Amino acid sequence: MIRPFLIIVLAGMLLASGAAYAVDPTEMPTPELQKRYHGLTHELRCMQCQNEAIADSPVSLAADLRREVKEMLIAGKSDDDVRNFMVARYGDFILFRPRVAARTLWLWSAPGVLLLIGAAVAVRITRQRAALVEQDNDPVDEDVRSS
Partner 1 sequence: MLPELGHFALILAMLLAALQAFFGIAGPALGRDRWTAAVTPAVAGQFVMVATAVACLIASFVANDFSVTYIAENSNSALPLFYRVAAMWGAHEGSLLLWIFLLGCWTVAVAIGVSKLPARFAARVLGVLGVVSFGFLLFTLATSNPFLRLDPPAPDGRDLNPILQDFALAIHPPILYTGYVGFAVAFAFACAAMLEGRMDQMWARWTRPWTTSAWAFLSVGIALGSWWAYYELGWGGYWFWDPVENASFMPWLVGTALIHSLAVTDKRGLFKSWTLLLAVLAFSLSLLGTFLVRSGVLVSVHSFAADPTRGIFILAFLIVMIGGALTLYAWRAPLLKSQAGFDLGARESFLLFNNILLVIGAATVFGGTMAPLIADALGLGTLSVGTPYFNPTFMLSMLPLLALLSLGVHAKWKRGQLSAARRILLTTLVIAAIAGVIIVFGVYSHGKVLSPVAATLGVWIILSSLVDPVDRLRRKLSLPRSVIGMSVAHIGLGLFVLSVTTVESFTLERDVALGQGERTSVGNYEFRFEGVKSIEGPNYNGVEGKVTVTRHGVPTSVVYPQKRQYWVQRQVTTEAAIEMHHGSNVFVALGDELGAGKWSVRFQIRPLVNFLWLGAFIMAVGGAIAATDRRYRVAREAVTTVPVATPGVAGGASHATPGQFREECPGPTLSGRMPAQEEAG
Partner 2 sequence: MNRFILPLGIFGLLAVVLAIGIKHSPEKGTIPSPLIGKAAPQFTLPVLTDSNRTLRSADLKGRWYVFNVWGTWCGGCREEHSVLLEIRKTAQVPLIGLDWKDEDPQALQWLAELGNPYEVVAADREGRIAIDWGVYGAPETFLVDPQGIVVYKYVGPLTLEAWQTLFVPRLPPQQAAKS
Residues that bind partner 2 (CB under 8 A): 47-48, 60-61, 64-65, 68, 87-91, 93
10 binds, among partner 1, partner 2, none (CB under 5 to 8 A by kind): partner 1
Q: Which is nearer to partner 2, 16 or 88 (CB)?
A: 88
Nearest distance from residue 137's CB to partner 2, in Å?
A: 29
Nearest distance from residue 60's CB to partner 2, in Å?
A: 6
- The β-bridge partners of 81 are none
109 binds, among partner 1, partner 2, none (CB under 5 to 8 A by kind): none
Nearest CA among 35, 40, 12 for reference residue 97: 40
SS (H, E, C) 20-80: CCCCCCCCCCCHHHHHHHHHHHHHEECCCCCCCECCCCCCHHHHHHHHHHHHHHHCCCCHH
Nearest distance from residue 57's CB to partner 1, in Å?
A: 7
Tell me 95's DSSP state. Answer: B
Q: Which is nearer to partner 2, 89 or 129 (CB)?
A: 89
Tell me 89's DSSP state. Answer: H
